[in-house]
Amino acid sequence: MSVADAVQLAGVVTVIAPSALLLALGLPALLGIRSSEETISRLTQASVLIGLVAALVCLVHMLATGNRHVPLEVGDWVVLHETDFHFHLKFIYDRLSVPFLLLSYVLVGTIGAFANRYLHRDPGYGRFFLLFAVFLQGMVWASLAGTIETLFVGWEFVGLSSALLVAYFEDRPNPVRNGQRVWSVYRLADAAFLVAAVALHHAVGHGDFDAMLGSTSWPEGRSLLEGSENLWIGLLLLVAAAGKSALVPFSGWLPRAMEGPTPSSAVFYGALSVHLGCFLLLRVSPLIEASPTLAAAVVGAGLATALFATAVGSAQTDIKGALAFASLTQVGLITAEIGFGLRYVALVHMLGHATQRTLQLLRAPSILHDFQAMENAVGGALGPGPGRWTSRLPLGVQARLYQLALDRGAMDNGIEAWVVRPFLALFRGAVALEARVTARLRGAPAPPPDGDAGQGEGGR
């Protein structure tokens, strides 16, 4: 086997390692076979290690040969020749994907090791690691995606696993409600992504990033889209990124997502998933560069998010909430950096932030212990810290700002009041009307306003 073949094989292994894990965990679950914690743990370790080693082989090869752009063509998963419709699977190893891939494997492995102990004997252990495998699959595919449709597949996997892990503690209504909320935002982001992907196909005939952005290695490349196409597709991708990365006005889901177990909070909202939107923007950065309007929108979204998160984070009363908004502040800054065209800065920022925040989130359950340990080391109580500039404002203004921060900018409430409730009320009204019309047509009395037209009859 030649070196090139070995590297090609390593590339394939990085892609299929998480798929193999998903199959190994998912198939027994489907057949109703319960795997032991040890089996699950070993399978996860093996998959992550094998994938990581394979990714390192690719990295070493790329460094040694100076080749910064290595495509792995899988081919057309589906093709309809007469219509030019094709679903092309392709993976790229470049300056953007390889660091993110390595980050994914390292952090998933680390957090997996943490979760193995943290969730030991938890009834949901198997469920956690199954969803973890779904997440790893999604992250690897999204990182390495060479076509927009491949990225979309990874994107969806990350979203589903994220929402289901937020609702991990499903015996309580709040995590479940928050899981549904996270899923709602993700579906909106997915919708924008899908429209962008189809529009891209229409514009250039395919979704290949190399062909769309010039067949050069990231971050070089230029958009091959025309002016308004570039803008609209870019804006749709910005909406998708905003939903995934909790940029304003979709920031409300991030603190809610902290309902999940600490390992998932760390990997999703500190490390990887929350940066996926930024990753998408980095991947399509030539589109941003080609459109000043789009770039301004990206910068605006990023800075608004950073300011918002800074303000709100300062009023949080629990450690995970504070860390969530601290994460969001950095995500906002990373987004702004991308808008300004500082791609390497954004990438390095992302990698550093992800690792630091992972550590903080994994230590979050021990915050009191750590605080006391620090006080013991210092030999006394730690001071309250330097005062904020806001302490110079009138008390009334401080109180209002505090209230606004505590309400998280009232964005969630605003979306709930102006979008969600009217939308649901419209359809509830329609369903109530259906019940009345149905009752009339059946010659039955009108149903009560609480609308229970269906009970009491019907067999199986």
Partner 1 sequence: MSTLHLPWLELAILVAFGAAAVVARDEDPDRRRARSIVGAAAVAAFALGAMVDFLTVGTFEAHDRWDLLAWLLGHDLLVVDELSAPLLPLTALTFLLTILSTLRTARLRFSFAHALVTLGVTLATLTARDPLLLVALLVGGAAVPLHEQRVKGRSVRLYALHMGSFAALMGLGLLLRWLAPAAAPWVFALALAVRIGLLPGHLWVLDLFERGSMGTSILFLTPMVGIHGFLRLVLPDASPELLHVLRVASGLSALYFAGTALVQRTARSFFAAEFLCHSALVLLGLSLDSSLGVTGGLSIWLSAGLAMTGFGITVRCVEARLGRLRLDTYHGLRNAMPALASFFLVMGLASVGFPGTIGFVAGEILVEAAIDASGWLGTGLVLVAALNGLAVLQGYFRIFAGPPHSSPVDLRSRRPERIAILILSLLVLGGGLFPQPGIASRHHAALEFLGRHHGGDPAGPHGAHGPAPAALPSDRPAPTDR
Place of tokens 């690792």: 355
213-242 positions binding partner 1, by CB under 8 A: 226, 228-229, 231-232
Asked if residue 183 binds partner 1 (CB under 8 A), the reply is: yes
389-428 positions binding partner 1, by CB under 8 A: 423-424, 426-428
Question: Between 61 and 181, whose beta carbon lies closer to partner 1?
Answer: 181
Exposed/middle/buried for residue 401 (C-beta within 10 Å: 0-12, 13-18, 19+)? middle
Stretch that binds partner 1, among 191-199, 284-292, 338-346, 358-366 (CB under 8 A): 191-199
CA–CA distance, 275 with 301 (Å, rounded to integer): 14
Asked if residue 381 binds partner 1 (CB under 8 A), the reply is: no
| Runs of H (alpha helix) within 205-226 | 209-212
* Cα distances (angstroms) measured from residue 69 to each of 53, 278, 338: 19, 20, 21
Do 72 and 8 meet the contact criterion of CB atoms below 8 Å apart?
A: yes
Do 211 and 223 meet the contact criterion of CB atoms below 8 Å apart?
A: no
Asked if residue 83 binds partner 1 (CB under 8 A), the reply is: yes
The least distance separating partner 1 from the CB of residue 134, rounded to whole angstroms, comes to 10
The least distance separating partner 1 from the CB of residue 448, rounded to whole angstroms, comes to 12
The least distance separating partner 1 from the CB of residue 355, rounded to whole angstroms, comes to 29
The least distance separating partner 1 from the CB of residue 440, rounded to whole angstroms, comes to 10
Give me the amino acid identity at 233: I
Question: Between 185 and 346, whose beta carbon lies closer to partner 1?
Answer: 185
Q: Fill in the per-residue mask, 301 to 340: x = in contact with partner 1 (CB under 8 A), - = not in contact.
A: ----------------------------------------
Paired with 90 in beta bridges are: 73
Asked if residue 445 binds partner 1 (CB under 8 A), the reply is: no
Question: Between 419 and 426, whose beta carbon lies closer to partner 1?
Answer: 426
List Cβ neighbours of 192 (8 Å cut-off, separation of 6 or more): 236, 237, 239, 240, 243
Stretch that binds partner 1, among 107-115, 208-216, 306-314, 434-442 (CB under 8 A): 434-442
The least distance separating partner 1 from the CB of residue 88, rounded to whole angstroms, comes to 12
Question: Between 75 and 386, whose beta carbon lies closer to partner 1?
Answer: 75
Three-state secondary-structure class, residue 94? strand
Angle of CA points 105, 110, 116, to nearest 5°: 120
List Cβ neighbours of 400 (8 Å cut-off, separation of 6 or more): none
Give me the amino acid identity at 270: G
DSSP conformation letters of 222-245: ---S-HHHHHHHHHHHHHHHHHHH
Asked if residue 187 binds partner 1 (CB under 8 A), the reply is: yes
Angle of CA points 383, 389, 392, to nearest 5°: 100
Asked if residue 77 binds partner 1 (CB under 8 A), the reply is: yes
Binding residue for partner 1 (CB under 8 A) from 5, 121, 123, 448?
123
Binding residue for partner 1 (CB under 8 A) from 42, 120, 202, 369?
202
Three-state secondary-structure class, residue 76? strand
Give me the amino acid identity at 435: A
Asked if residue 434 binds partner 1 (CB under 8 A), the reply is: yes
The least distance separating partner 1 from the CB of residue 248, rounded to whole angstroms, comes to 20
CA–CA distance, 460 with 458 (Å, rounded to integer): 7
Question: Between 371 and 418, whose beta carbon lies closer to partner 1?
Answer: 418
Question: Between 138 and 255, whose beta carbon lies closer to partner 1?
Answer: 138
Question: Between 130 and 271, whose beta carbon lies closer to partner 1?
Answer: 130
Do 269 and 120 meet the contact criterion of CB atoms below 8 Å apart?
A: no
Three-state secondary-structure class, residue 38? helix
Asked if residue 442 binds partner 1 (CB under 8 A), the reply is: yes
The least distance separating partner 1 from the CB of residue 444, rounded to whole angstroms, comes to 7
17-76 positions binding partner 1, by CB under 8 A: 29-32
- Closest by CA to 416, choosing from 163, 236, 164, 177, is 177
Question: Between 141 and 218, whose beta carbon lies closer to partner 1?
Answer: 141
84-103 positions binding partner 1, by CB under 8 A: 84-85, 87
The least distance separating partner 1 from the CB of residue 261, rounded to whole angstroms, comes to 15
- Closest by CA to 92, choosing from 3, 208, 254, is 208
Binding residue for partner 1 (CB under 8 A) from 3, 78, 373, 378?
78
List Cβ neighbours of 423 (8 Å cut-off, separation of 6 or more): none
Asked if residue 379 binds partner 1 (CB under 8 A), the reply is: no
CA–CA distance, 85 with 113 (Å, rounded to integer): 43
The least distance separating partner 1 from the CB of residue 78, rounded to whole angstroms, comes to 5
Q: Fill in the per-residue mask, 139 to 178: x = in contact with partner 1 (CB under 8 A), - = not in contact.
A: ----------x--xx--xx--x--x---x--xxxx--x--
